[in-house]
Chains A and B, each alone.
Chain A
């Protein structure tokens, strides 16, 4: 066995307040740990930079009571504690029946082993899986360095086709597009108490060093999904290189409301192709009020990638995403895609 992890202080927090106390006290020396599947690999690989020192203290929030739970209240919605594992989410009957898209997305994450450890909170705040970020030699923008190395370097897989700023990483989360399609709220606790952040406002753009609005001394305590109207249908699809343990080359979460064969409403979120889960309102507009029909869907799928301007090596993501959007919409619309 290798001893690759340096000596680290480890604090078991008993309450949210205690966790925040330690975080505030230790400042950027401390990091929150739950499943640790992302954090420990960063530490093991010695990834650090001006904006990401290797932590010296880990505040364990798995020991906070009531953080690991799935509560469904009919008529209100679903509340998931931040340390609930992805495995528990994908295998919860309530999640599967009422919010199937989220169960599908959670199931698509990584491997069984990682889903047994990894939590919903961690999945939302994981760091980039850009390979320049994940090897220690490049002090890139996201670590607090001066520049992005991927734009003029290698960017075939986990990168954005919607270059919107300095960093061209593609946001890796599978659950985030699904949660965004479902209109989730992220409950965040900090020194001044709790705040509820609509997920549309949770992720930051590629000009920022950090991917979310979470401050260093804040933690996610809960993810809340409102009850969906009865005519809601959803679909989550993910394309990747390998059958397991792979982030999305492209993913789509589509949530449709259909009445009498027409779309009342639509939400389409793209994953794996932009620095944040990317909503495509124009494609949603292309459905709203229209009849459920393959041609309408094809048009919406084309609109969904209209704004794409891929990098030199990832042009394939454009047709890939368009096809994926089409398949997701067909499936959520109850139409048989040609196979």
Chain B
């Protein structure tokens, strides 16, 4: 890296001109000991004097009009301190990641929607109060299936989302029928009809994917402290500033009066990105009662009330020549939004991978987002890309088999060089070819027919599959990300970052960046995070944005702080500030390394009672370059044709992320993503009763997330390549490794047992059916 291109406001710091001393080391996460030893204090552990408990009354119907609510008996119950419903807050709008939503609408649109809430001296009283609330419902017909909901005769769903042109995530207009914003999103290039004419083989398929739930270990919990003027929210969210924004707006308070604190976070996977609906009710109750309020959702409430990954159906048709050249692609993806969704229709993200990943001159892809009477949908680890990659990469293997070509060769043959195939915009970096080679080599792809003989006998069939992907993880609008670095007289350093460490090791990563840039040991740096009090505005930790967005800001802040320190130190060392270099706690003059002092000694030069403080801020990505991360996975599976069971034995996962800041933390993301992906592919099968819309398995027993027994051997490979726009080139890994799991496992099942399965999850009944063994 020679040129200073770091995406920061103002002049970027010069690239570090020495080998790394901290970056690239597997430093254990700094909050690890507290977490595994049980001393970490989560929001739900906080006890405040006079604290009340809140509970929410939820609607039992999938669609109903509320005719009347009588809360008088609940209010009269001794111990009840506040009751809210549409009686006292009929027009209240809450905000979920700034998307306005009705708090207590007249029409309730899914089973589990909030109807009232109470705060009482204990849970028992709160629960008894809920039972005393009388609600008259007029039941309305409900629609659960998005294709059904698109029909002109369909029952109209009343979404929770309210259009708002000032919020980029909110719908711009009311739906027409049940169609989001009254329109679909279409990506096209070339001439579809001609493309299919040019094809030797045309294949059409339908792909279905199921909802996926986050099933975070920590159930949502918060403690809200209101002193009559200021509010402190102890929360379990993924973005303290975002929750502060949402709650302030919802309660009509200035943002500076709503401080949000997350000390530790017990899993979010996207689901805790903005202020959750439950938090608005609890905050309102705290204001009304004038006492601290604690709320915690039960596990069933977790399932029914928080936004999860959408279910989809995709009709996909692709044409290919015998030599493997893709000629045309046409698709229509239907997205079940439920009654509302963070980021609305997900802004074409579902079809973007198919549009970009391979070179294909003629493409028409349509994304259709539909409201139904099912629960809210929203962010979840690669929410759309995991789905978009499934149908594309499944279809690629099908095409390869039809034309008798190796699936890896077909992918290489259609490798897309440009980020925008029409405008021919370049990528900032792309080494997907390398990822494909490394991941497939790792499981000996070349000899993938080694199982053929063994597979002829007995019920156990082995096979190998692969899938490639693109991911984001390069920052996202509005690119408002700032950090401060403080150097104290005693030689300690603080990074102040208004973000949340959601378990990915974000706090550790930022300490490492600051330590590297300052030239100190990482254990002299403390990251102060998860608190809007001492920090500047920063993004929420989701969309794999932390490294790409906060990384440059932290590096800039640290470089500025270092500069200030060098200005104090230079005279002592009889040198100019620009001649100084620091590494591992030592400051030296570059042309005469004998002249040096320790970092601590240098800090003593800070005037008494003062400290060095410097800031860094991200600027937006340039528009004429396309930014992505890329990767590929290859896996080996075993299919038992007697039982329909599928086991993933081995996964080789190669991800291109620019620079590995901390190998241990990066590898953990491969593990986590792949394990979660195996759940999505093989196990997690949310079931809703088709007549009532009631979820039948809102629990961790029958909603099956993987256990250690489902974890295969995982071989992570991290592909580094310079990308000077980012902090030491570092881009994201967080969400990406879940993306190719489903298609590569599905493709491997074909290789093993000769069956194509196009619906997720791939459970034993589907396998036995595909094998023709059952109806």
- With beta carbons under 8 angstroms apart, the residue of B298, B460, B690, B704 that contacts A241 is B704
Closest residue on chain A to residue B696 by CB atoms: A131
Evaluate contact between A338 and B696: CB separation under 8 angstroms: no
Q: A45-B300, A131-B697, A243-B710 are in contact. Are A316 and B764 (CB under 8 A)?
A: yes
CA distance A256 to B590 in the complex (A): 84
Partner of A154, one of B457, B690, B774: B690
Cβ-based interface call for B73 (8 A)? no
**Does A132 have its Cβ within 8 Å of any Cβ on chain B?**
yes
In the complex the two chains form, what is the Cα distance from A45 to B300 in whole Å?
9
Inter-chain CA distance A45–B701, complex, in Å, is 13
**Known contacts A241-B683, A241-B704, A243-B707; A318/B774 CB under 8 A:** yes
Q: Do B296 and A2 touch across chains, with their CB atoms under 8 A apart?
A: yes
Given A241-B683, A244-B709, A316-B774, the answer on whether A156 and B765 have CB atoms closer than 8 Å is yes
B459's partner among A138, A316, A323 (CB-CB below 8 A) is A323
Does A207 have its Cβ within 8 Å of any Cβ on chain B?
Answer: no
Q: What's the least CB distance linking B540 to chain A, in Å? A: 26
Closest to B761 in A: A241
CA distance A54 to B72 in the complex (A): 27
- Complex: how many Å from CA A45 to CA B698? 10
How far is the CB of B39 from the nearest CB of chain A, in Å? 16
Is A339 within 8 A of B690, CB to CB? no
The 10 A-B pairs with the shortest beta carbon distances in the complex, nearest first, are A243-B709, A323-B642, A131-B696, A316-B765, A338-B458, A319-B773, A316-B774, A316-B768, A3-B123, A315-B774
User: In this assembly, does A324 line the interface, its C-beta being within 8 Å of a C-beta of chain B?
Assistant: yes
Q: B426 on the interface (CB 8 Å rule)?
A: no
Complex partner residue of A316 from B44, B60, B300, B644, CB under 8 angstroms: B644
Known: A154-B689, A327-B642. A245 touches B701 (CB 8 A): yes
Residue from B219, B300, B694, B706 whose CB has the most chain A CB atoms within 10 Å: B694
Task: Please give, as numbers and ranges, the residues of chain A lying within 8 Å of B645 by CB-CB distance.
Answer: 239
What's the dominant secondary structure at chain B's contact region?
loop
Known pairs A156-B687, A314-B765; list 7 more (Cβ under 8 Å): A134-B699, A149-B689, A153-B689, A239-B764, A241-B764, A242-B704, A315-B769
Q: A154-B687, A316-B644, A320-B644 are in contact. Are A6 and B764 (CB under 8 A)?
A: no
Q: Which residue of chain A has its CB nearest to the CB of B773?
A: A319
Enumerate B69-125 residues with CB–CB distance to A below 8 Å: 122-124
Does B691 interact with chain A (Cβ within 8 Å)? yes
Bound: A150/B124 CA distance, A: 32
Question: What is the bound-complex CA distance between A241 and B685, given in angstroms?
Answer: 11
A-B pairs with beta carbons under 8 Å apart, 17 shown: A1-B44, A132-B689, A134-B699, A135-B696, A153-B689, A154-B690, A244-B707, A249-B764, A315-B775, A316-B764, A319-B768, A320-B642, A320-B774, A323-B642, A327-B642, A338-B458, A339-B460
Q: Smallest CB-CB separation from A327: which chain B residue?
A: B642
* Residues from 567 to 624 in B contacting A, C-beta threshold 8 Å: none
Shortest Cβ distance from residue B461 to the other chain A in the assembled complex, whole angstroms:
11
Q: Which residues of B contact A (CB under 8 A)?
A: 44, 60, 122-124, 219, 296, 298, 300, 457-460, 642-645, 683, 685, 687, 689-692, 694-699, 701-702, 704, 706-707, 709-710, 763-765, 768-769, 773-775
Contacts of A137 in B (CB 8 A): 60, 692, 694
Of A4, A242, A324, A338, which is within 8 A of B709 by CB? A242
**Is A87 part of the binding interface, using a Cβ–Cβ cutoff of 8 Å?**
no
A154, closest chain B residue (CB): B687
Considering only residues 239-262 of chain A, those with a C-beta below 8 Å from chain B are 239, 241-246, 249
A145 to chain B, nearest CB (A): 14
Shortest beta-carbon distance, B29 to chain A, in Å? 25
A interface residues, Cβ below 8 angstroms from B: 1-4, 6-7, 45, 129, 131-132, 134-135, 137-138, 149, 152-154, 156-158, 239, 241-246, 249, 313-320, 323-324, 327, 337-339
B354 → A minimal CB distance (Å): 30
| Chain A residues closer than 8 Å to B701, beta-carbon distance | 245-246
Give the number of residue pairs across the A-B interface with Cβ within 8 Å.
Answer: 110
B129 CB, min distance to chain A CBs, angstroms: 14
Known contacts: A135-B698, A157-B702, A246-B704. The answer to whether A239 contacts B643 by CB under 8 A is yes
- Whether A131 and B710, one on each chain, are in contact in the complex, defined by CB atoms closer than 8 angstroms, is no
Q: Tell me if A320 and B695 are in contact (CB < 8 A).
A: no
**B residues in contact with A318, CB < 8 Å:** 774
Q: Knowing A45-B300, A153-B691, A323-B459, say if A131 contacts B774 (CB, 8 Å).
A: no
Q: Is A242 a contact of B706 with CB atoms below 8 Å?
A: yes
Task: With a 10 A CB-CB cut-off, give which of A156, A245, A316, A323 has the most chain B CB atoms.
Answer: A316
B225 CB, nearest partner CB in chain A, Å: 19
How far is A179 from B763 in the complex, measured between Cα atoms in Å? 30
Contacting pair B707 A242 (CB below 8 A): yes
**Given the known A-B contacts A2-B298, A315-B775, are A320 and B768 also in contact in the complex, defined by CB atoms under 8 Å?**
yes
Q: How far is the CA of A138 from the CA of B774 in the complex (A)?
A: 30
A323 neighbours in B (Cβ, 8 Å): 459, 642-643
CA distance A233 to B516 in the complex (A): 67
| B764 and A320 contact, CB distance less than 8 A | yes
Are B773 and A131 interface neighbours, CB within 8 A? Answer: no
Q: How far is the CB of A329 from chain B (nearest CB, A)?
A: 13
Distance A318 CA – B775 CA, assembled complex (angstroms): 10
A118 CB to nearest chain B CB (Å): 14
Cα–Cα, bound, A277→B636 (Å):
37
Q: In the complex, are the beta carbons of B124 and A6 less than 8 A apart?
A: yes
Looking at the assembled complex, report how far the CB atom of A153 sits from the nearest CB atom of chain B, in whole angstroms: 5
A313→B765 contact, CB < 8 A: yes
B257 to chain A, nearest CB (A): 30
CA distance A137 to B112 in the complex (A): 11
In the complex formed, the residue of A with least CB distance to B44 is A1
Task: List B contacts of A157 (CB < 8 A).
Answer: 702
A327 to B645, CA, bound (A): 15
Chain A nearest CB: distance from B708 CB in Å?
A: 8
The complex places the Cα of A160 from the Cα of B296 at a distance, in Å, of 37
- Out of B124, B644, B690, which one reaches A153, CB within 8 Å? B690
Give complex CA distance A317, B300 in Å. Answer: 29
Contacts known (A154-B696, A241-B683, A339-B460); A324 close to B60, Cβ less than 8 A: no
CA distance A240 to B355 in the complex (A): 39
* Docked complex Cα distance between A193 and B763 (Å): 48
User: How many angstroms between the C-alpha atoms of A249 and B457 in the bound complex?
Assistant: 25
Please tell me if the beta carbons of A242 and B710 are within 8 angstroms of each other in the complex.
yes
Q: How far is the CB of A149 from chain B (nearest CB, A)?
A: 7
CB distance from A112 to the nearest CB of B (A): 11
Q: Which of A134, A316, A339 contacts B773 (CB 8 A)?
A: A316
Residues of B within 8 A of A315 (CB): 765, 769, 774-775
A110's nearest neighbour on chain B, judged by CB, is B701
Contacts of B123 in A (CB 8 A): 2-4
| B695 close to A135 (CB less than 8 A) | yes
> What is the minimal beta-carbon distance from A224 to any residue of chain B, in angstroms?
31
Cα A182 to Cα B592 with chains together (Å): 86
Complex: A175 Cα to B328 Cα, angstroms: 57
Could you tell me the distance between the alpha carbons of A287 and B696 in the complex, rounded to whole angstroms? 41
Alpha-carbon distance between A7 and B683 when the two chains are bound, in angstroms = 36
**Bound complex: CA of A316 vs CA of B763, how far in Å?**
11
A313 and B690 alpha carbons, distance in the complex (Å): 13
Query: In the bound complex, what is the Cα–Cα distance between A6 and B690 (angstroms)?
Result: 32
> What residue in chain B is nearest A318 (Cβ atoms)?
B774
B124 CB contacts on chain A under 8 angstroms: 3, 6-7
Tell me if B643 and A320 are in contact (CB < 8 A): yes
Residue of A nearest to B647 (CB): A243
Kindly report which residue of chain A lies nearest to residue B123, judged by CB atoms: A3
CA separation between A48 and B695, bound complex, in Å?
A: 18
- Which residues of chain B are near A3, meaning CB under 8 Å? 122-124
Per the bound structure, the CA–CA distance linking A1 and B219 in Å amounts to 10
CA distance A277 to B253 in the complex (A): 62
Given contacts A131-B696, A132-B696, A313-B765, contact A338 B459 (CB under 8 A): yes
Nearest-CB distance from B467 to chain A (Å)? 23
Contact among A131, A243, A338, A339 with B702 in the assembled complex (CB-CB below 8 Å): A131
CB distance from A134 to the nearest CB of B (A): 7
Of chain A, the residue at the smallest CB distance from B128 is: A6
- Cα–Cα, bound, A245→B460 (Å): 24
